[in-house]
Amino acid sequence: MIQDRTFKDPNREYRLFFYRVSVAAFAVLVLAGGLLWRYYHLQVVRHQDFATQSENNRVHVRPVAPNRGLIYDRNGVLLADNRAGYTLSLVVERIDDMDGMLAELEQLIDLQAEEVERFERLLKRRKPYEAVPLRFNLTEKEQGIIAVNEYRLPGVEITAQLIRHYPHGKLLAHVLGYVGRINDRELAAIDPVRYSGTYVIGKTGLEKEYEDDLLGDVGYEYVETNARGRVMRKLERIDPAAGKDLHLYLDIRLQRAAYEALGEERGAVVVMDTRTGGVLAMVSKPSFDANLFVTGIGVKAYRDLLESPDRPLFDRVLQGQYPPGSTVKPVFGLAALETGAVTPQTTIYDPGFFRLENRKHRYRDWKKGGHGTRVDLHEAIVESCDTYFYSAGVKMGIEQLFRYGSRFGFGHKTGIDMPSERPGIMPSPDWKRGARGVAWYPGDTVNSSIGQGFMLATPLQLSVAASRLASRGEIRSPRMVRAVGEDAIGSRPPAGIIEAAPSHWDYVLGAMRDVVHGERGTARRIAEGITYEMAGKTGTAQVVNIAQDAEYDAEELEKHQRDHALFIAYAPVEEPQVAIGILVENGEHGSTTAAPIARQVFDVYMGLSDDRGEVLAADVPE
Amino acid sequence: MSQSDFVRRLDMGGSALYGERTRWQRIHVDLTLLLLLLALCAAGLFVLYSASGQSEYYVRRQAMWMGGGLVAMLFVAQLTPRFLERWAVLPYAVGVLLLVAVLWLGIEAKGAQRWLDLGVIRFQPSEILKLAGPLMLASYLSKRRLPPVFRHVFWSLVLLLLPAVLIVKQPDLGTALLILAAGLFVLFLAGLPKRYMIGALGAAMVLAPLAWFYLLHDYQKQRIITLLDPQADKLGAGWNIIQSTTAIGSGGVGGKGWIQGTQSQLDFLPESHTDFIIAVLAEEFGLVGITLLLSLYLLIVARGLLISLHAQSMFGRLLAGSITLTFFVYVFVNMGMVSGVLPVVGVPLPLVSYGGTSIVTLLSGFGILMAISTERKRT
C-alpha cells in the first residue's frame, strides 16, 4: 500500500480525472439533449395525437335510454308504466380480476348462477367502457351494502333505471305482453344505435306489436370520467325522446268483469265494440304475472309456467283454435237464405239424424230423437237443430259455406294489431287438397255445416263473427289501439260490407235474439232479470284431438276430453254496441258455462254505458 | 495555463473556492448549490400539490422530509473529507450487514423485501449503500496509484458487487443498478483503462441474453416487453406508459395549467405523485416546464462536477464526481422511463417525487458535496 502511494503522480492523476469529468459532462449534455428531444417529440410533434387521446380518455359518450311509452286504457287508467329500479353494473375495463370481483360481490349480495351466466352473455357484446348490468332491482339493503364497500369495488356502479311494470298483473298478461332482455336473435334484427342504453325489447303482445312506437329515441350524455370510470361531471346532454304512449280501446273494468266471469275455467273472452272494431276486453285464462319476465324470470318459475297442464303462457284468444260448433249457425243460416238453399218457409223433419243420399252413415243431431216435424230455420237457430243445417249445408255446397264463412272472418287472420295471431281453418276442397292431400268428401260438407270437422276458429274470430252479425255485415278488423301518442288513429269506415237482403238479416238476427229471449232458446236461462235485449248463439264443440300429455292423470285426462263450450252474442239488439266471443275449454255446454259469462260482461257494460256513456260513445263515427 | 487555472476561471464568482473563505464557507455551505437545491425543492412541492390531488397532507409531509434532509445535509457538510475517507469502511460494513439482515428479518411490501423495522421508523438499508458504496470505493481507489491496475479493479468490483447482489435478491433491481452505477462512476473517474471498459461492454452484450433467461424475473421481462410495445397490453402492463406519454404529449408547449391536467387529476396517470410525477409537470406546464426543470437539474450537475474538479484530494474528486453523475442518472432514468424510452424501474425523480427516504439520501449526498467543496486547502 505504501508502495502504491510512493508512486502516485498527482498531476497525471488530475489530468486523467479532468479528462474523464469532461467526457462525463459531455455525455450528460448529450443524454439531456436526448431527453429534451424525446419530450419535444411527444409534446410538439405528436401533440395533436396525444391531445385527442387525452380527450378521449376523459370524455365518454353515454347513451341515455328513453322512457318507454306508457299504455293506458280508454279511460286513462295506467296499464303499463315504468318504475325506478336500481341496477348493479360493472365496467369491465376497470376490473383487473373479474372472477375475483364476482366472488367478492357474491359475498355481498348473494349472486345467483343465472345472473352470472346472463352477465357473461352480455359481456360478449358490450361496447368499450360500457357498464354491463349484473343484478337488476337491487333492494335498499343491497344498495347500502354496495355503497359501503364502494372503495374496494372499482368499476362497480349502481345506476337508476326505469323498469317496466304492469300494475294489473295477470289481468292483462296476454294483451300487453311483456318486455324482456334483448336476446341474440333480436339483437341481430334491431338497430344497435337506437337500442344503445336500452336492455329490453317487447317480447309478446302489444309490447311487441308497438315496439317501434313505445321505444322512443335514444339520448346522449357527454361525461367526464376518471380512470375508474366514475363520472366526475356531465358536460353536455342530448335528451332522449320518450316513446309514444298507447291508448287502448280496452276498458279495464270490462276486462276485469270478463276475467272474473270466467272464474276458474280455462278459456277466452273477447269483447268488441261493433261500431269501431275496438277491443274492449280480451281475456285468456289461466294467466300469469308478466312482471316476472321483465328482469328475467328464474329457470324454475319459468319451467313451472311452461309445464303446467293448464298452459298459462298460451294465449287462447289469438292462438287457440277450436271447432266453432253451432256458433256458426247464424252465419250459415244467412248463407242458406241468401243462396236460396232455404227460405223462411222451408221446413224439415228431424228424426235425430241426417243421412246423405244412398249412404248409411247417420250424422246425429245433438238432441236424441230429434227436433221433430216442421223445423224451420228460426227454430233451427233458436234450438240449434243440427239436422236442419246438415241438410241446408249439403244443399248449398261447401263453396257457399266457405264463401260466407270467410266473409265473416273464419279461416284467415283478422288483422288485429297483435302479434302471433293464428288463422283458424275454414275448410274447402282446395284447402283439403293442399293441407291434407286428399279429396273432399260429401261428409266433410255435412260436418262443416255445423262448425265441426275440419273447421277451427280462434276466440277472436268468434267475436269478429258476432260483431259482423250485429252490425249487419260491416267488415272491420278488430283493433287494440285507438291512439298512439297524440295521434288518434280514429274511427275508420268499415273495410267492406257483407251484402244480404235486409229481410234475411232481420230473420237471422231475430232468431239470435230468441236464442236468449225465446221460450225455447238454448240460452234462455241467462235472460232472467235482464233489463236490455241481447242476441246470441250457443255452441258445443267436440274435442277431437286435443294435445294430450302423458303426464295428465286419469281425472285430468277425462276432463280434457269433455266438449268445449262456446257462445257468441251482441247487445243491445236494437242498436248493437258490443259483441262478444266466448270459449270455455272442456266447459261441456255453451248454454250453461259460456252464455252466463256473456250476461255478466254485458251487464257490466250496460252499467258502464249508463255511467260513462259519453266515453264509450266517443269512438262512434259521426 | 495549467488545468487548475482553467478550473479557477470556470468558477464565476459566487463562492470563491480559492482565496478568501466567505461566511457561508466557514459554516461549510456551498451557497450556489444550496440555492439551486432550494429552488428544486420548491418546484417539487409546487408540482406535488397538483399531482397528489391538491393534498396538503402530502405537501406538508414532503416539506418535513425536505427540512429533515436539509438538516442532514448541513450535518454531513460539517464532516471533513479526511474524516469520511478514514471511516468510509464503517457505513459500508454496517450497510452490508443490514442488507444481510433484511433478507432474514425484512418486512415485505409490494412483493419485495426491502424494509427494516427499527421500531420508530422503517427504512431500507439499500439507501445507506447509495452513499456508502461510492464512499467505500473512492476511499479504496484514492489510496492507490491511478489509473488502477487489474488487481485494484478486481477488488473494487468485489466491493461493489457484494451489496449489489444482496439488493438484487430483495429483489430491487433498480436500486442495485444505481449503486452499481455510482461505483462504476468512481472507477471511471479514477481512470479505468479503456480496454476494461470495452471488455466489460463486450461481456455485457454476451451476458445480456443469459440474464434474460436466468436472472430477470417475469415482471422485469414484462417491463422490457412493455417498453417495446406498450399497445400490446393496453389495460395491463402498457397502461402506465400509454397514460404517461399521453399526459406528456397532451401538455404541448405551454401545458394545460396548474391543477388542470386531466390525465393526472382524473387518475388516468398511475403513481402520479411518486415515480411518474414528471408526467404531471409535463402535462400541466408543457415543454416550457420540462425545459426549466431539466435546466435546473443540469445546473446542479454542473455545480457538482465543478466541485469535484476543485476538490482538494483525489478522494473528494472521485466521490463528488460519482455522487453528481449518479444524481444525473436518477434524472435521466426517471424522465426516460416516464416518457417511454427506458423500461419502468422504480427510480424517483430526485427531490420532486414524493418519498422521504430518497430525499434524505439525496440531500445527505449533497452534504458530502458541500463538505468537499468547503474543505480547507490541504498543505
Do both B49 and B123 map to the same domain?
A: no
Is residue B304, in this structure, part of any structural domain at all? yes
* Domain, as residue range, for A355: 252-617
* Domain, as residue range, for B192: 87-216
Sort out which chain B residues have CB atoms less than 8 A from A224's CB and list them.
262, 266
**Are residues B252 and A47, on separate chains, in Cβ contact within 8 Å?**
yes
Do both B184 and B72 map to the same domain?
A: no
Tell me, what's the pLDDT at A511? 96
Confidence category of residue B317, pLDDT binned at 50, 70, 90: very high
Confidence category of residue B171, pLDDT binned at 50, 70, 90: confident
Do both B96 and B196 map to the same domain?
A: yes
Q: A614-619 — which CB contacts under 8 Å span 24+ positions?
A: A615/A74, A615/A75, A616/A74, A616/A251, A616/A273, A616/A577, A619/A249, A619/A273, A619/A275, A619/A276, A619/A278, A619/A482, A619/A491
Option in B144, B282, B318 nearest A39 (CB): B282
Neighbouring CB atoms inside 10 A of A49's CB total 14
Is residue A19, in this structure, part of any structural domain at all? no
Residue A276, CB-side half-sphere exposure with 13 Å CA sphere: 22
Which residues of A are annotated as catalytic?
326
**Are residues A28 and B301, on separate chains, in Cβ contact within 8 Å?**
yes
| Section A221-230 average pLDDT | 75
Sort out which chain A residues have CB atoms less than 8 A from B266's CB and list them.
57-58, 224-227, 232
Is residue B192, in this structure, part of any structural domain at all? yes
Question: Between residues A301 and A126, which one has the greater pLDDT?
Answer: A301
Question: Between residues A61 and A333, which one has the greater pLDDT?
Answer: A333
Question: With 60 as the cut, is the pLDDT of residue A551 above it?
Answer: no
| Section B285-309 average pLDDT | 96
Closest-CA residue in chain B for A232? B266
Closest-CA residue in chain B for A31? B332
Sort out which chain B residues have CB atoms less than 8 A from A31's CB and list them.
328, 332
Question: With 90 as the cut, is the pLDDT of residue A370 above it?
Answer: no
> In the numeric block, which cell numbers belong to residue A181?
332482455
Question: With 90 as the cut, is the pLDDT of residue A157 above it?
Answer: no
Do both A460 and A422 map to the same domain?
A: yes
Is residue A581, in this structure, part of any structural domain at all? yes
Tell me, what's the pLDDT at A408? 96
Beta strands in chain B (DSSP E): 107-109, 112-117, 122-123
Tell me, what's the pLDDT at A360? 85
Q: Is the peptide bond before A63 cis (omega within 30 degrees of 0)?
A: no
**Are residues A53 and B249, on separate chains, in Cβ contact within 8 Å?**
yes
**Are residues A36 and B290, on separate chains, in Cβ contact within 8 Å?**
yes
For the stretch B35-58, pLDDT in tens is 999 999 999 999 999 998 888 999
Do both A235 and A330 map to the same domain?
A: no
Question: With 70 as the cut, is the pLDDT of residue A548 above it?
Answer: no
Do both B227 and B257 map to the same domain?
A: yes
Do both B74 and B96 map to the same domain?
A: no
Domain boundary at B216, B231, B260, which?
Answer: B216
Let me know: does B338 contact B271? Beta carbons within 8 Å: no
Sort out which chain B residues have CB atoms less than 8 A from A17's CB and list them.
146, 189-191, 309, 314, 317-318, 321
| Section A9-31 average pLDDT | 93
**Are residues A54 and B250, on separate chains, in Cβ contact within 8 Å?**
yes
Q: How many domains are contained in chain A? A: 2
For the stretch B97-126, pLDDT in tens is 998 888 877 666 656 666 666 655 567 888
Do both B64 and B179 map to the same domain?
A: no
| Section B173-201 average pLDDT | 91
> In the numeric block, which cell numbers belong to residue A408?
265473416
Question: Between residues B224 and B283, which one has the greater pLDDT?
Answer: B283
Question: Between residues A259 and A59, which one has the greater pLDDT?
Answer: A259
Confidence category of residue A302, pLDDT binned at 50, 70, 90: confident
Can you tell me the ipTM of this complex? 0.91
Distance, C-alpha B247 to centroid of its chain? 24
Sort out which chain A residues have CB atoms less than 8 A from B236's CB and list them.
96
Tell me, what's the pLDDT at A119? 84
Is residue A14, in this structure, part of any structural domain at all? no
What is the CATH classification number for the domain harbouring A152?
3.90.1310.10
Torsion of CA A130, A136, A138, A139, to 10 degrees: 170
Option in B143, B191, B287 nearest A1 (CB): B143
Question: Between residues A91 and A512, which one has the greater pLDDT?
Answer: A512
Mutate to test the interface with B, among A1, A8, A11, A17 (most CBs of B within 10 A): A17
Option in B236, B246, B318 nearest A54 (CB): B246
Backbone angles phi, psi at A324, to 5 degrees: -70, -15
Is residue A7, in this structure, part of any structural domain at all? no
For the stretch B338-364, pLDDT in tens is 999 988 888 899 999 998 888 999 999
> In the numeric block, which cell numbers belong to residue A431?
284447402
Question: With 50 as the cut, is the pLDDT of residue A618 above it?
Answer: no
Nearest residue to A227 via CA among A49, A56, A58, A53: A58
Sort out which chain B residues have CB atoms less than 8 A from A225's CB and list them.
266
Do both A348 and A454 map to the same domain?
A: yes
Sort out which chain B residues have CB atoms less than 8 A from A58's CB and list them.
262-263, 266, 268
Do both A451 and A594 map to the same domain?
A: yes
Q: How many domains are contained in chain B? A: 2
Question: With 70 as the cut, is the pLDDT of residue B26 above it?
Answer: yes
**Are residues B188 and A24, on separate chains, in Cβ contact within 8 Å?**
yes
For the stretch A110-150, pLDDT in tens is 888 777 887 887 777 666 667 788 887 788 888 888 888 87
Is residue A52, in this structure, part of any structural domain at all? no
Option in B246, B298, B314 nearest A32 (CB): B298
Distance, C-alpha A387 to centroid of its chain? 41
Tell me, what's the pLDDT at B20? 65
Question: With 50 as the cut, is the pLDDT of residue B16 above it?
Answer: no
Do both A429 and A494 map to the same domain?
A: yes
How far apart CA A310 and CA B177 sit, in angstroms, is 79
How far apart CA A316 and CA A207 sit, in angstroms, is 18
SS3 call for B110? coil
Question: With 90 as the cut, is the pLDDT of residue A104 above it?
Answer: no
Do both B147 and B205 map to the same domain?
A: yes
pLDDT, chain A, mean: 87
Is residue B21, in this structure, part of any structural domain at all? no
Mutate to test the interface with B, among A3, A5, A28, A37 (most CBs of B within 10 A): A28
Is residue A226, in this structure, part of any structural domain at all? yes
A66 CA to chain B: closest CA distance, Å? 29
Do both A558 and A494 map to the same domain?
A: yes
Question: With 70 as the cut, is the pLDDT of residue A547 above it?
Answer: no
Q: A397-402 — which CB contacts under 8 Å span 24+ positions?
A: A397/A445, A398/A427, A398/A428, A398/A429, A398/A440, A398/A444, A398/A445, A398/A448, A399/A428, A400/A335, A400/A339, A400/A341, A401/A332, A401/A335, A401/A445, A401/A448, A401/A449, A402/A426, A402/A427, A402/A428
Domain boundary at A248, A278, A310, which?
Answer: A248
Domain boundary at B181, B200, B216, which?
Answer: B216
Sort out which chain A residues have CB atoms less than 8 A from B305's CB and list them.
21, 24-25
- Specify which of A87-96, A348-357, B318-327 reaches the highest per-range mean pLDDT: B318-327
Rg of chain B's alpha carbons, rounded to an integer? Answer: 21
What is the CATH classification number for the domain harbouring A606?
3.40.710.10
How far apart CA A237 and CA A224 sit, in angstroms, is 12
How far apart CA B339 and CA B330 sit, in angstroms, is 14
Do both A236 and A271 map to the same domain?
A: no
Option in A29, A39, A57 nearest B246 (CB): A57
User: Which residues does residue A246 pair with via DSSP β-bridges, in sequence order?
Assistant: A71, A484
User: Which residues does residue A233 pair with via DSSP β-bridges, in sequence order?
Assistant: A224
Do both A241 and A260 map to the same domain?
A: no
How far apart CA A351 and CA A369 sit, in angstroms, is 6
SS3 call for A584? strand
How far apart CA A236 and CA A61 sit, in angstroms, is 9
Do both A374 and A348 map to the same domain?
A: yes
Distance, C-alpha A574 to centroid of its chain? 35
Burial per residue of B262-286, b for 16 or more beta-carbon CB atoms within 10 angstroms, e otherwise:
bbbbbbbbbbbbbbbbbbbbbbbbb
Tell me, what's the pLDDT at B113? 63
Mark residue A368 as left, alpha or beta (left: phi above 0; alpha: psi -120 to 50; beta: remaining).
Answer: beta
Write the single-letter amino acid at A18: F
| Section B148-165 average pLDDT | 93
Is residue A480, in this structure, part of any structural domain at all? yes
Beta strands in B97-238 (DSSP E): 107-109, 112-117, 122-123
Tell me, what's the pLDDT at B138? 95
Do both A370 and A279 map to the same domain?
A: yes
**Are residues B191 and A25, on separate chains, in Cβ contact within 8 Å?**
no
Do both B116 and B48 map to the same domain?
A: no
Mutate to test the interface with B, among A15, A39, A40, A231 (most CBs of B within 10 A): A39
Is residue B12, in this structure, part of any structural domain at all? no
Distance, C-alpha A474 to centroid of its chain? 27
Is residue B357, in this structure, part of any structural domain at all? yes
Distance, C-alpha B189 to centroid of its chain? 17
Question: With 50 as the cut, is the pLDDT of residue B14 above it?
Answer: no
Do both B92 and B40 map to the same domain?
A: no
**Are residues B251 and A25, on separate chains, in Cβ contact within 8 Å?**
no
Helix (H) or strand (E) holding B64: helix B56-78
**Are residues A39 and B290, on separate chains, in Cβ contact within 8 Å?**
yes
User: Which residues does residue A20 pair with via DSSP β-bridges, in sequence order?
Assistant: none
Sort out which chain B residues have CB atoms less than 8 A from A5's CB and list them.
143, 145
Option in A10, A18, A40 nearest B309 (CB): A18
For the stretch A578-599, pLDDT in tens is 999 999 999 888 788 999 999 9
Domain boundary at A248, A278, A308, which?
Answer: A248
Do both A332 and A194 map to the same domain?
A: no
Is residue A575, in this structure, part of any structural domain at all? yes
Do both B73 and B193 map to the same domain?
A: no
Distances, alpha carbon B173 to alpha carbons B24, B167, B210, B263, B343, in Å: 39, 7, 16, 29, 12
A62 CA to chain B: closest CA distance, Å? 18
B327 CA to chain A: closest CA distance, Å? 11
User: Which residues does residue A362 pair with via DSSP β-bridges, in sequence order?
Assistant: A355
Do both A396 and A436 map to the same domain?
A: yes
Write the single-letter amino acid at A387: T
Domain boundary at A214, A248, A282, which?
Answer: A248
Do both B174 and B314 map to the same domain?
A: no
Burial per residue of A562-572, b for 16 or more beta-carbon CB atoms within 10 angstroms, e otherwise:
bbbbbbbbbbb
Q: Where are the alpha helices (DSSP H) in A124-251?
A: 140-148, 173-176, 184-189, 205-209, 211-215
A90 CA to chain B: closest CA distance, Å? 16
Do both B232 and B372 map to the same domain?
A: yes
**Are residues A224 and B144, on separate chains, in Cβ contact within 8 Å?**
no
How far apart CA A317 and CA A177 sit, in angstroms, is 13
Question: With 90 as the cut, is the pLDDT of residue A396 above it?
Answer: yes
Confidence category of residue A614, pLDDT binned at 50, 70, 90: very low
Is residue B49, in this structure, part of any structural domain at all? yes
Option in A4, A21, A50 nearest B245 (CB): A50
